[in-house]
Each structure stands twice: as structure tokens, then as C-alpha cells.
Chains A and B, each alone.
Chain A
Amino acid sequence: MSPSLPTKALRFGTPRASSEPYRFNWRALFSTIVVVITYLSQTSPVSAQTTSIAIWPPLLEATIQPGKSVTQVYRLKNLGDDTIITAYLKPFSPSGELGHVQLQLQGQSLTGDPANGRVGTAKPEGLSLLNSALSFFSLLNADLKTLPATFPLKAGQTQELVLKIKIPEDSKLTDHYFTFLFDSNTTGLVGDSGTTTQATIGSNILLTISDDGQPKLSAKIEEFAAGQIKVRPFLGASLLRGIYPKRSEGGSDLNGDLRFVTLNLLDSFSPISFLIRVKNTGTTRLKTIGQIELKNTFNNPVATLPLREDNILSNSIRKLQTTTDWKPFFPLGRFTATASITPQDSTNTITQTIYFFVLPYKAILVVVLIFLGFKALTKSREQQ
């Protein structure tokens, strides 16, 4: 009986005679393990220091009576390296008309301009009001009570912060807009000349102080238009004035200097979009609920485009967006678009109607140019 059959398949190292007793090669095993460990330690990726933080909720909307308080849990995740977090609040004002914020930094005022979405000027008393409103906020964590708060956050760790908003009894009934900011201070090392970078993440707070929870809301459609083109009035502005497109009340078809005419003329083969700018004329933020209803030449409804429920801060303008696009198959003719907007929790519906033409004018233009070119070529040949 030969023992070679089971051992041949398993043995490694120097071949041995079949009569030689089996000796396990511990040296080979040890060497292999050392090599594997050395390889792993040498090839482990040396990753650069990163910072990655996530916050929830990204937006808090609160309406509170004077004398009442609310709490909200903020969840902060560290998806990067170990870091030190500093949490604090800053007032903000609207930046642009798309819902972005401009933080009020130390030494800089909230004074805005129409280009920045805010209409009018913030008064100095408004600034002091905002800064005093910072005292409304505190933390309810066992180890974190006041703001700003600094705490370590290890890689992979989640920290929950309980933010308390307490409104004093004598608070003025008004809005306050803040961003809850979290500075991530991860130590970056630069050996030579260089730059270290730092990340800050924010979450917005829209705070309304109201006695009855139903502040008066009012809005106005500043602009409502479909895609427009500007052309020179080759037939005279007065002639075009009597034709479409026609803007509804408050709008104007023609530029004042009559050098250009704005036509609500859309191409049948191009995407059709709408511009709608709404101004919050009240002193309290509002959320827009509404839609754009489209009717064709025969006054039949062809589409309803819901508007995204965006917040418009007091005394500011916001461009609204539809939640769905209108993608008709070869639209043609005169269309009517009616925008209807009702601020949430109110019955003050505002509407505006526009008319526009949809024609394949680009294709027509190409055909006309080809025809004219062909005609010119034919005429040239005839003359030759």
C-alpha cells in the first residue's frame, strides 16, 4: 500500500522520496504569511484627508406663537475623516430669485437690491432684530446647551443635535430667516507652500412669529411669459401692436423705444418653457400652490402644469418652476396659458393669462431661404 496518493496532491516544497516521512514545511508557511502581510501593508491606499458631512433636515419651517417653543432634531453625519464641528446660526437674506441664500456676515449688512431678489432695503432696526433673534435658539443636548457649540465627530459617527426655538412673550410678529451652519474643521497638513480647505454645510430655518398661525399672505405675479423672441418691426410697431401676442393686464407687447418688438412666438420643434416670477407683497413668507393651464386655439384644455411648491420670503421675488414639462406633439396655432397661484393656507388666488403662437418658424425660415437661393440660382443661370 503506497502512501503517495493522498500526500502527492497536498505536499509542496522540494519533492521527496516516496519512502520519506511527510514533514510539514513551517518555514514556507511562515514566509508566505510574512510576504502577504508585508504586501498588504505596503499596498494599502494612502488616502488624502477628506471631509464629508451630511445634514438633515435641510430646511425647517416653523410658525410659532410668542411665548411658545419648539424643538427639532438635526442629524449630522460624518462620512469623512475625524473632525471637529462648530455649530452656529447666521441670519440670511434671499440671493437671486431661485431660493438661494446670502448669509449675513459680520460687518456686512443685509441691505439687498432687486437683483438679489430682495425688494427694498433692510432697515437698521431690522438688522438688530435679526441679531437679537439669535437668542431664541439653544441646544437641548445633555452636553451641548449653547450656540455656538463645538464638538468632535469621528469618522462614520452621527451626532444628533436638539435645537430649541423659544419665542419670548414680547416678540414682534414678524419673520426671521436663519441658516444653521456646521463648520467641519479637519486638520489639513501642508508641508510646503499650499492651501488648506475647510467645509461648511448649512440648513435653512424659516421662522414666522404669529399670534394666530394664519398671517395675512399676499402675492403678485410680476412676470409671466412663454419663450420670447425679439424682432425689428419691419411692418411698423403700430401694426404689430394690433396683432398678437398680447400680454395680459400690466404687461406690454412692445418695448418703449420701438426698436425691437417682443413676440411670444415659439417654435413647434423647440422645447416650450414658461417664466413666472412671483413677488411676496406681504410681511410673512408664503408657499406657492398653483399651476399653469394651457388651452389650444379652440379653447380646449391641453395640459395642466403644476408649479413646484416653493417658499417666497417676505418682500422678495422668486422664479417658480413647473414640476413637469410640456412636451406636446407638434403644437401649432395660438395657445392660452393661465397661471393660478394661491399662497398655502390662504384663499387669495392670483391669476394671469398670456397668449402665444406656436409655429414651425425655423423650418419655414429654412424652406424660404432654400427657395430664395434656388430662385436666385435659376435667375443667374437664365441670365447666363
Chain B
Amino acid sequence: MKTKGSELSVSARLRTSCQFVTFLVGTLLAFTTPVLAIPNMESDSYKLQFTNLNMTSGSKESTNFKVLDTLGQTGPGQYTSSGYYVKAGFPYIKTIIDFSFTISDLSIDFGSLTPSTFATQTNTLTISAGGAGGYSVTAIEDHPLKLQATATTIPDTTCDSACDETTAAVWTDTANFGFGFNLTGNDISSDFTDSTYFRQFADLSLAESPQTIMTNSDVGSGRTATVTYKLNISASQAAGDYSNQITYVAIPTY
């Protein structure tokens, strides 16, 4: 009987242990699982309908209105009455498709710089139109890399020969200083012949226009380009942290 009692005791302890481990694992999972935000679909005075899965698409018209709707059209966006008509969505792909733009890494940190030594960093730009519609991406910097709270700058590169914000050129000589970028991947400008070709960013402080760096007039889905930022300073460059901001603008075709 003693032995039997011992077996029961072990079983009970094991059960308790299992429950304890389950509790701990559950707690752990609860803290490590991503918490998904709930879309804010209403406020005190306004309530938006959920996506209207009307499961229809195509052109509809009567004597008073004409509509080209798309499957899954959000409710309030596609209504008509006398005096106007509205079409929303990609015109030739009758489905609900987002146009999205992703930048993989917002901070391009070159770390401590060594004169006459190239410092490079990369991030990726991704455009997705779900297989519908063309797009273009432009880029512009607010100003050249600037020493904080001063007017001292690291100039934009002119490459080994001559490059500017519209034309890329080879930049491999460490005797040439400045800041520039290279592109590889989908739909990039044709002047980026290979990874040695660099351009300046268009400079907003000089009233330059944003320059197109990715473009496609056909359908596009998951189009990705890698931007390589390159920096090289001279020994006479004033010490300190230099910074600027680059804005990428992605717009679909009409």
C-alpha cells in the first residue's frame, strides 16, 4: 500500500508540474505573440462601414448614373446619384488592390567615418500593386549631409568623372569625395549600369526637382530595388556628425 501511495503521489506531482509548465509556456506565448492593432473604424459621431464584399464588378449604368465598381469596394466610396459619377480603383483590373510602398530600414548610419575610405549602407524599396497598374518612385534630399547646427556640409558626389542627380557615373576612386547612391533591382533607372555607378540625390535646398529612380508602366507586384548609400570624406572635413533626410515618393500611374 505504501508503494501504491507513492505512485499516486508521483502522478499527482507530475500532473501539477505539467499544469505549471503549461501555465508558464502560455504566459510566455502571450507575451511574445505580436499584438495586432484593431482598426479604428468609428468615432463618437461617425461610423464607417466595413468593406462591402458585394462580389460584383464591372460597369453599371442607368439613365441617371454610371459606375465602374470593383469587387470588395468599401461601402461609402462607390455611390452615385444625379449630378456626378465616380470610379475608384485600378481602371483595368476589376478587383480591390492596395498600392503599397515599403522602405526596409529608415536609418542609414555610416558610423565613424575614415577619410578616403568608402562607407556604404543599404536599404530596400518595395512597391506592390497586386499585379495592377504602373508606378514611379522619386527621391529627393532636404539638403546635403550637414554638420548639425552649422552650415558645413559633405558635398554630393560628382563621381570619378561627372555625375549629378539625373545621370549616374562610375565612382570607385577614393580620392573623390562626397555622398551618393546606387540602385540595383527591379525597374531602376537605366543609367545605373552596375554597382559602381552612382548619382547624387536631387537637392531640395537648391530647388532641384525630385528625380525618378524606379518606374514601370506595366503591372507591378513586389517590385524591389536596393539602394546603396555611399559616403567618402576628405581628411580636411570638419569633425562631427553629419545628417540629412531623403524622401521617397511612390505614386501609381493614372
Contacts and interface: CB of A to CB of B under 8 A. Distances in A.
Interface of A: 1-3, 6-7, 10, 21-22, 24, 29, 33, 36-37, 40, 44, 48-65, 67-68, 70-75, 77, 79-80, 95, 98-103, 105, 107-108, 140-143, 154-160, 162, 177, 179, 181, 183, 186, 188-204, 206, 213, 287, 308-311, 313, 319, 321, 323, 345
A332 B13 CA distance: 87
Nearest to A156: B37
A116 B126 CA distance: 26
Contacts of A1: 3-4
Interface string B241-254: 11111111111111
Interface stretch (B106-114, B166-174, B192-200): B106-114
B77 to A, nearest CB: 4
A141 B126 CA distance: 30
A60 B77 CA distance: 10
Contact of B249 (A22, A160, A181, A213): A181
A160 B47 CA distance: 10
Contacts of B87: 60-62
15 contacts: A3-B6, A48-B107, A56-B74, A56-B97, A59-B91, A59-B252, A59-B254, A61-B91, A62-B85, A63-B84, A75-B74, A79-B102, A193-B109, A196-B244, A198-B245
Nearest to B61: A345
Contacts of B251: 100-101, 103, 179, 201-204
A201 B247 CA distance: 11
Contacts of A201: 99-101, 249-251
B243 to A, nearest CB: 6
Contacts, number: 304
Given A72-B77, A156-B36, A56 B96 contact: yes
A54 B106 contact: no
B102 A52 contact: yes
B229 interface: yes
A196 B108 contact: yes
A84 B43 CA distance: 19
B45 interface: yes
Contacts of B77: 57, 71-74
Interface of B: 3-4, 6-7, 9-10, 13-14, 17, 20-21, 24, 28, 32, 34, 36-41, 43-46, 48, 66, 70, 74-77, 83-92, 96-113, 121, 123, 126, 128-129, 133-134, 136, 141, 145, 154, 207, 209-210, 212, 215, 217-218, 229, 231, 240-254
A322 B203 CA distance: 38
A107 B204 CA distance: 11
Contacts of B9: 22
A98 B38 CA distance: 38
Contacts of A195: 108, 141, 145, 229, 243-246
A24 B17 contact: yes
Contacts of B112: 192
Given A140-B46, A199-B250, A202-B251, A59 B89 contact: yes
Contacts of B45: 142
B109 to A, nearest CB: 4
B248 A24 contact: no
A191 B253 CA distance: 37
A71 B84 CA distance: 11
A162 B76 contact: yes
Contact of B106 (A22, A49, A55, A192): A49
Given A48-B105, A49-B105, A154-B37, A64 B99 contact: no
A72 B80 CA distance: 11
Contacts of A188: 106-107
Which of A3, A68, A193, A345 has the most chain B CB within a 10 Å cutoff? Answer: A193
| CB-CB nearest 8 A-B residue pairs | A99-B253, A54-B100, A188-B106, A98-B217, A142-B43, A52-B102, A202-B251, A54-B98
